């Protein structure tokens, strides 16, 4: 029985998939890029849906520029410039993950302008009603 368990665990360890740091970094960055593509898709959809509302679009574009500055500042706040190696080899994964989370949060907020709200909802602001 002991030999069977030894063989089983040896096969499992050999068969298990290990990732290098570069692979983990690439995967995390790809996940962030996917979130960024979705953000851009939502943003472009808003531009199309609200194309007649010039004042709204002006403010949307200003808001997005400010959000990009905010995102970059948040990243610098989370990971201030330090000497090389300060954050360890996992740092690219952590940065990409943080950027992804910020981007997903922004996308969720922007989606509000793609939802249709009921006529008469007093606090919809610039969100178009049905």
Give the predicted TM-score (pTM) of the model. 0.82
CATH assignment, 21-113: 1.20.1270.180
Give the model's pLDDT for residue 44: 98
b vs e for 97-117, b when ≥16 Cβ sit within 10 Å of the residue's Cβ?
ebbbebbbebbeebeebeeee
Query: For position 121, what pLDDT does the model report?
Result: 77
- pLDDT tens digits, 76-86: 999 999 999 99
Low-confidence ranges of the chain (pLDDT < 50): none
Task: Give the pLDDT of residue 93.
Answer: 95
Residue 53: strand, helix, or coil? coil
């Amino acid at each position: 029985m002991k030999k069977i368990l030894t063989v089983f665990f040896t096969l499992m360890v050999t068969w298990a998939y290990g990732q290098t740091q570069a692979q983990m970094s690439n995967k995390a960055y790809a996940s962030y890029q996917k979130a960024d593509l979705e953000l851009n898709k939502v943003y472009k959809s808003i531009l199309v849906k609200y194309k007649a509302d010039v004042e709204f679009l002006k403010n949307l574009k200003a808001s997005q520029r400010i959000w990009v500055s905010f995102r970059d500042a948040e990243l610098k706040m989370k990971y201030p410039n330090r000497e090389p190696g300060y954050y360890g080899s996992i740092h690219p994964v952590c940065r990409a993950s943080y950027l992804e989370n910020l981007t997903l949060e922004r996308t969720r907020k922007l989606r509000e302008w793609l939802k249709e709200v009921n006529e008469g909802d007093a606090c919809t602001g610039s969100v178009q009603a049905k």
